[in-house]
Chain A
């Protein structure tokens, strides 16, 4: 019940394309869904986050789509750039407890 399932494990996208990463959760008590970006040798950094009372949140080229009834949410990276190449983690949290997905390695080809 505490799991967050993330897919795909890895993703290769052409420069300018759309990168889509999907996550699903089980526990309906989660009330905050952040996405983190991690570059090699660095700690994760918050990219964008959403609460379940909205279905979509957009910040620049990054959009979270949230489907509360399906208990799914996804990250869309528009106009993907080589600099976006990193590992992306979705997460679900309530209070201080955050459960992370296993991560998606994104590689954007120039």
Chain B
């Protein structure tokens, strides 16, 4: 059973370009979370998605950032018109559906975005 797969591992974008980060959850997991990690900082929650639904996007910047988790295919975190401050490691995690309870979230290896 493959773990959470994120690609690309490294992404370099010029200011103003778009960045697309992909996350394939573990088999059987229908919940996906995206986190951002700045150097020397912890992980900051961005968004929580279930298949075809955004459940909570309270950590997403209001502009330029969007996320989706379609019925088929990976979850995508999209950053439009990137700026230098978007440079960070973006981690995806997935978990199985556990009604009402906490469950371990498994993390991918992250995508390191560098905006030049």
Which residue in B45, B104, B107 is a CB contact (below 8 Å) of A97? B45
Contacts of A46 in B (CB 8 A): 104-106
| Cα of A64 to Cα of B107 in the assembled complex, Å | 22
Given contacts A93-B102, A96-B33, contact A41 B45 (CB under 8 A): no
* Interface of B (DSSP majority class): strand
Do A43 and B107 touch across chains, with their CB atoms under 8 A apart?
yes
Contacts of B44 in A (CB 8 A): 100
| A-contact 0/1 string along B43-67, CB 8 Å cutoff | 1110010000001100000000000
| Cα of A72 to Cα of B33 in the assembled complex, Å | 26
Within 8 A of A (CB), among B9-64: 31, 33, 35, 40-45, 48, 55-56
Given contacts A43-B109, A44-B43, A103-B42, contact A96 B31 (CB under 8 A): yes
Q: Give chain A's interface residues, CB within 8 Å of chain B.
A: 4, 6, 9, 31-32, 34, 36, 41-46, 49, 89, 93-103
